Chains A and B, each alone.
Chain A
C-alpha cells in the first residue's frame, strides 16, 4: 500500500523511501524474518534438546579450570540451584543469528583531485567516541587519489578489531575457513569446533560465515551426523538451513529411527512455515503430518514411509 502511494506520484524513490518500504512489507523476504518467527523459534528450541551432560561437559578452552564445589544444601536451595543451572544451560544453547548476507557498504563523501600526490598510502580514520557500536562506528578512508569515502565492510571489520578487539578474534581470518582447508577437517568430531570458531571470527551476516556454516550443514546432512550437533546451540540454525534448502528428508528419517515422531512432525511444520508451502497439509496429528509430507513434498518419500513402517 505504501509502495503504491509512493510510486503513484511518478517520482524516483529516494533511499529513505526504499528503506521504509522494506521495513513495512508484510511478506517475509529475509532469512531473519523467517528465522525469528515465534513458532519457528519455539520448535527449533524444542528440537535442540537440553542434554545437561553435553552442555556442561568439560571442554578444552585454554583457561584454568575452576575447582568443583561440593555443598550440602536443603531441598529449597537445591531447587534454586537447579533453576540457575537450567538458566545457564539455556543461555549456552542460545542460537547464533541467521541473517542474510550483508549488502556492500561504502559511499563517496568527497572527491578532491588536488590532493593527488600528497601521499601514496591510504589514510583510514576511525572514530573512537565512547559508546558507539561496532556497526555504527564512523570509519572513513582518504584514498591517494583524493577521494574521501566511508569504509567498506573489510576495512570496518579490521578497524573494529584493531581498536576494539574481540577476544579470540584474529585480525586476519585463519586459513581454516578457506574451502580447501575446511574440507580436510570436516568430520563429526569437528563440526561444533568449526561452527564455534566461525561465530568467534565473523559476524553472522559476513559472507564467509554463511559459506562456512552452509558447508558444515551440508556435509553433516550428507553423512547423517545429526547427533553430533544435538543439544548444542548450532542445532537450530542447522535445521533452519535444511528446511530452507529443502533437505530435511534424512533428518526426518533420523528422528523416526529414534522413535521421535513428534520431532519429525515439528520439522515438517517448520519446513512449511519457512518455505510458505500452502499445498502441504499439516495437522495436529504427528504421524499424519509426516506421512503427508512423505507423499507430497519430500524428495525421499519412500525412505520416510519405510522408516515409519519399521518403527511401528
Chain B
C-alpha cells in the first residue's frame, strides 16, 4: 500500500466556506471537507481552519480569522481551494489574488459609470449616485 506523497495527500478534500449563522445573517466557517460531501453545516468537516463574517462591523471591517499554520499544511498537501476561499486568501496576502477578485472589482468600477452594465446587486455606492 503506497503512501500518497505530501503533494497529493489532500487531493479529495477542499477548502470551502460552510455557511453558519442565521436567516439573513450569514457567517462562514472556512473548512477542510471531503469534496464529494455536500456543503452543510451539520456535516462535520475534517477541520475548521478559520471564520469569515461577510457583514461589516461598526468599524466597517469584515473580519476573517485564518489558522495560517494549518492552512499551510493543507495547501502543501494539495487541497483544492474553492473560489470564495481563494479570494479571501488572496486578499489576505497568503496567495496571489484570484482573477475573479480583479474581475469583480473591474465590474463594480465599470458599473458606477455605465448605467446599462450596472446590475441590481452591485454593492458599490459612490457619491455620484
Contacts and interface: CB of A to CB of B under 8 A. Distances in A.
Interface string B96-125: 010001101110110010000000000111
B69 interface: yes
Nearest to A129: B69
Interface stretch (B10-18, B59-67, B75-83): B59-67
Contact of A125 (B70, B92, B109): B92
Contacts of B66: 125-128
Given A116-B109, A127-B68, A162 B63 contact: yes
Given A125-B88, A127-B68, 12 more contacts: A116-B105, A118-B104, A118-B108, A120-B125, A122-B60, A125-B64, A125-B66, A126-B63, A126-B66, A127-B66, A140-B92, A142-B93
Contacts, number: 88
Interface in A104-136: 109-110, 112, 114-130
Most chain B beta carbons < 10 A, residue from A122, A158, A159: A122
A124 B64 contact: yes
Nearest to B112: A117
A121 B123 CA distance: 11
Contacts of B124: 117, 120
B105 A124 contact: no
A127 B108 CA distance: 29
Interface residues of A, number: 29
B61 A121 contact: yes
A193 interface: no
Main secondary structure of the interface of A (DSSP, over half): mixed
Contacts of B68: 127, 129, 138
A159 B51 CA distance: 13
Residue with the greatest number of chain B CB neighbours at <10 A, chosen from A116, A119, A129? A119
B38 interface: no
Contacts of A127: 65-68
A141 to B, nearest CB: 8
A126 B69 CA distance: 12
Given A118-B105, A129-B68, A138-B68, A124 B93 contact: no
B61 A124 contact: yes
A123 B105 contact: no
Interface of B: 50, 56, 59-70, 88, 91-93, 97, 101-102, 104-106, 108-109, 112, 123-125
Nearest to B91: A142
A155 B108 CA distance: 28
13 contacts: A109-B93, A112-B97, A115-B101, A116-B105, A118-B104, A119-B123, A120-B125, A125-B64, A125-B65, A129-B68, A129-B70, A141-B61, A148-B92
Interface in A158-215: 158-159, 162-163
Contact of B92 (A119, A142, A158, A159): A142
A163 B65 contact: yes
A121 B50 contact: no
Interface string A28-59: 00000000000000000000000000000000
Contacts of A138: 68
B86 to A, nearest CB: 14
Given A115-B97, A117-B109, A125 B123 contact: no
A112 B102 CA distance: 10
Across chains A and B, which 7 residue pairs bring their CB atoms closest together, nearest first? Answer: A117-B109, A117-B108, A118-B105, A121-B56, A125-B92, A129-B69, A117-B105
A160 to B, nearest CB: 12
Contacts of A123: 61-62, 64, 88, 91-92
Contacts of B92: 123, 125, 140, 142, 148
